[in-house]
A and B are shown apart, each in its own frame.
Chain A
Amino acid sequence: MRKEYLHIEKIEGPLIFLKGIKEAKYGEVVEITIDQEHRLGKIIKIDQDMVIAQVFEGTSGMSMRNAKIRFTGEPMQIKLSEEILGRMFNGIGDPIDGGGPLYSGVDFPIQSRPINPVARSYPRNCIITGITAIDLLSTLIRGQKLPIFSGNGLPHKELIAQIVRQAQITSEDEEELVICFAAIGVTKDEGAYFREEFEVSGTMNHVVMFVNYADDPVTERLSAPKCALTAAEYLAFEKNRHVLVIMTDMTNYCEALREIAAVNEEVPSRKGYPGYLYSDLASIYERAGTLTSRKGSITLLPILTMPNDDITHPIPDLTGYITEGQIVLSRELGNRGINPPIDVLSSLSRLMKDSIGEGFTRVDHPDLMNQLFSSFSKVQDIRSLAQIIGEADLSEMDQKYMAYGRFFEEQFMNQKSYEARTIEESLELGWKALSILPEELLDRLDPETIEKYHRR
């Protein structure tokens, strides 16, 4: 029988401070009982006989004396089985869809150990999303972590819903993707939007949701992505499924981390975020991947809104250093009605170079991609010139580039929310865009490729 403590020394924000503790482990879960209500907490610091714990459900209603605190000696765990698919849980893994508790299942700690780099296999198979700008120019690879850098009011929600609807894995075993969805600090409307989207499109039975609403306690924002990843690891590495993990919005996660660090009086680094923000984010993002010894995979698509659309803000900045590329949404394209408004020049998929072309997509894909990029970056220069001297005064060649730029954005990139393009359709559109330019300007393509694929 473990001891119960009846006295709290101090309560501050989501943290409780307990004194006179003789036995406690770092990271262990404490159970707090207030009258009939149960809450969970986690020890985040031990100093002599003072223990600091963060309370997941928040500290409101707690007093110095009305709570009983029991130390469990165990790390934070959630119960998992294949029954979780189609279900919805809160940020600490309790069901909130009215479907009752999970009866069977095994407990898994939500903080996992780092994957040994030796045990990883390099991700090599792509996931086709049916979205040209992604499939052709920033291809998503199974086992990759590819964030979407968005801004407030940009249609990342719709983009995610479209990816979930259309994503397919390319391989002989025509398996279906499983989605682990972590909603972190989202509004009730957003939560309802995603749920409805999944139900309407019939994908809900492949989706497990961990939802922390905007008005739920901030401490649960920290555990929601970890729960989703633990579920993903279970499905991928125990049950051999291919899992796509979606997290929205990681900015809320980082802010929760900052809030707790501030209450804990930690030394802040950039913009008040704690110095360990990088390692903390890495401990989440690096859980994506594929292993040589197991069949499944975890692909991670975190979404974050860049405060003030600033890509150098610590959250997108540190994320970009950890993840394998990024997809950046642009407000300017959004305003011009281009959908999805992906800024292709600053978007990048680091893993695609080994997973496109012959044997993966089509042999002309890599060269075509390079040519599309290099010609489109040229368009940017010509546009800034056109702003000064006017489009009419541009040379004939530059006018052609302008036409290419327009086709690129309005036809090639632009597509409807319910339009899924095959990789062939996307490639054809790319060649069609290049046909606007004179052939001698296609300097990234070799003559054989031009001969075989170029639409004159």
Chain B
Amino acid sequence: MNKGSITYINGPVVRGTHMEAFQMREMVYVGKRKLIAEVIGLEGSTGTVQVYEDTEGIGIQEEIVGLGAPLSLQLGPGLIGNILDGIGRPLKKINEVHADFIPEGAGLISLDMEKSWMVDLQVKSGDMVLSGQIFGLIEESSLIQHRIMVPHGVGGIVQFVAENGPYKPDEVLVRIADKKGAVHELKMVQTWPVRKPRPIQKRLKTIKPLITGQRVFDTFFPIAKGGTACIPGGFGTGKTMTQHQLAKWSDADLVIYIGCGERGNEMTSVLEEFPKLIDPKSGKAIMERTILIANTSNMPVAAREASIYTGITIAEYYRDMGYHVAVMADSTSRWAEALREISGRLEEMPAEEGYPAYLPYRLAEFYERAGYVETVQNGEGSITIIGAISPAGGDFSEPVTESTMRYINAFLALDRKLAYARHYPAVNWLSSYSGYLNVLEDWYGEHVGADFMQIRTDLMKLLQEESELLDIVQLVGEDVLPDSQRLVLEIARIVKTGILQQNAFHREDAFVPLLKQYAMIQVVWHLYVQAKRCIDNGIPFSETQNHELFDRVAKMKYTVPNDHLEALEALTTDIEAYYEKIMEKYRQVI
């Protein structure tokens, strides 16, 4: 084992001498308490490491011990429903040993090695198995079947297969011999270095949406499965709330929630709430398909840098089993700041606002690990990344937002003004965009409604027109506008309160199926078309704008249950009948 000696300590950055034999990105133990760290720089005999735990109390001339391998994760059953720290250590386990507060030097603990899992083996002696091939199955949770894969770079003829039954993670399940005759023992766990993307066969086109049950996303700014999105917003605009909504309701098989440099109580609320929440699709608790990575803002900053990679590596592991995984990173700004902090302590030349010049590259590396892919064993899987950004001062021209925008396809801007008016989710419909509208058009046409995208475009035009009209209203008031423009304002108001606003705490409104979303925009558009016809025929606005009818449309999100869409048809009929009636009345007058 390689050993160095500490000569320099500055926060999470530690340097040592006699480190010629260390490798870049090698994992090391630092000091008497064996703090976990990673080599990030080598020069002559001096090595620089970033320490994933608090360095207070570490002395000079203590040891740095190389572990010979890069920062890696143990991947295997037991991850689902768990909460891990930035370097993949289970926090519940740590809490059992060291109550309430996280100590330094808790060591490299990982999956529970004592727990037995029922294994159903899928191969027999004499079979040929290849890298990535699934050779065993475990019911990891009521929603996720764990598919045990042959590790990458390993393959050959099966020589031994264990009986189906309960096994612990470090027991041998299958033994194979490769071409050269070397024997490999396969267990249910494998390790993988977090900074290295896991291999795939090839990337496929993104053609399916990630259905979130949130109207502002599904209808207005859809995200594709295998796509990338970012949610920037100043504090108080509801980033975390939005991310939680997506984690709760999106139709991914598995959700990995990375709480990166955020509040401890937010993780606690997820831990308390998710086991009680029922997934509308499966009827099971959503914790059964959730993995949490927590590096709260007071936990060591170097582990914050690693937490993003820990999350995405676990996502890739489950993707390789053929699952559709959604990764929520909240917030990537904290991760970028961790990079900045370490870069500052390394005395690197800063670029914009003190961030290191390699920030855009690191962001790109992360977002590029998303995608809809054909896995090594010809299955299909995807990783969708939704990253929150906390721009300094709520200003989107800062480096993290700017750099991220170049690598993502859906930009969901949260707006402080909307949040102050308690318009949630506070997604600004004018500055947000989704690059997936075109690729998803066919899917929506086929699965939802042929005119879905057309109505969406029409409503967007209406909202755009409204924002221009509001500038005039600010100056002269609403009353002086012509009736047709007043109608635009009224309908836009319904779109805003009745469609864009969504109540996360309302039974019917927390999650809305696509078909109801479609029916709702149809109703609103129908109302507009009918009312517009009356106004074009010279019928006064006071008559056209029927308070009761407009109010019913605005409140349909609450009053129409998600599984009784016929009530929306009735609403359409009523709208038609009403306008037919007043048209009739005026026809007689004219």
B-binding residues in A (CB < 8 A)? 21-28, 45-49, 75, 111-123, 143, 237, 266-270, 274-276, 278-279, 282-283, 285-287, 289, 291, 293-294, 312-314, 317-318, 320-322, 324-326, 345-346, 348, 351, 353-354, 370, 373-374, 377, 384-385, 388-389, 393-395, 440, 443
Contacts and interface: CB of A to CB of B under 8 A. Distances in A.
B340 interface: yes
Contacts of B487: none
A118 B60 contact: no
Contacts of B475: 388
B269 A122 contact: yes
Contact of B420 (A26, A112, A237, A345): A345
Interface stretch (B107-115, B201-209, B258-266, B458-466): B258-266
A267 B344 contact: yes
Nearest to A26: B9
A384 B394 contact: no
Contacts of B234: 317, 320
B57 A377 contact: no
B2 to A, nearest CB: 21
A112 B10 CA distance: 18
B59 A314 contact: no
A389 B347 CA distance: 58
16 contacts: A114-B264, A114-B299, A115-B101, A117-B264, A117-B271, A120-B265, A143-B265, A267-B343, A267-B347, A286-B264, A289-B265, A312-B393, A324-B265, A389-B477, A393-B477, A394-B477
Contacts of B505: 353
Contacts of A23: 59-61
Nearest to B300: A114
Nearest to A291: B100
A111 B56 CA distance: 9
B566 interface: no
Query: Which 7 pairs between the two chains have the least Cβ-Cβ distance?
Result: A312-B393, A269-B354, A282-B297, A27-B56, A286-B298, A320-B235, A117-B267
Nearest to A27: B56
A244 B104 CA distance: 28
B57 A118 contact: no
Contacts of B347: 267
B265 A122 contact: yes
B236 A320 contact: yes
Given A286-B298, A317-B392, A24 B99 contact: no
Contacts of B100: 115-116, 119, 237, 291, 293-294
B101 A112 contact: yes
Nearest to B297: A282
Contacts of A353: 505
Nearest to A286: B298
A389 B422 contact: no
Interface stretch (B37-45, B89-97, B177-185, B578-586): B89-97
A46 B61 CA distance: 11
Nearest to B393: A312
A24 B59 contact: yes
Contacts of B264: 114-115, 117, 120, 286, 289
A298 to B, nearest CB: 12
B354 A270 contact: yes
Q: Please report whether the interface of chain B is mostly helix, strand, loop or mixed according to DSSP.
A: mixed
Contacts of A111: 56
A112 B102 CA distance: 10
Nearest to A42: B56
B263 A324 contact: yes
Given A116-B101, A377-B422, 12 more contacts: A23-B60, A26-B56, A114-B296, A119-B99, A143-B265, A268-B354, A320-B234, A321-B390, A324-B263, A351-B265, A388-B475, A389-B476
B536 interface: no
A375 to B, nearest CB: 11
Contact of B301 (A276, A312, A317, A440): A276
B268 interface: yes
A290 to B, nearest CB: 9
Contacts of A324: 263, 265
A440 B550 CA distance: 13
A269 B344 contact: yes
A237 B99 CA distance: 12
A264 B347 CA distance: 12
Interface in B82-133: 83, 91-92, 94-95, 98-104
A46 B8 contact: yes
B263 A322 contact: yes
B297 A278 contact: yes
A391 B473 CA distance: 15
A110 B301 CA distance: 19
B142 interface: no
A270 B344 CA distance: 13
Nearest to A345: B420
B145 to A, nearest CB: 26
A114 B106 CA distance: 13
A75 B474 contact: no
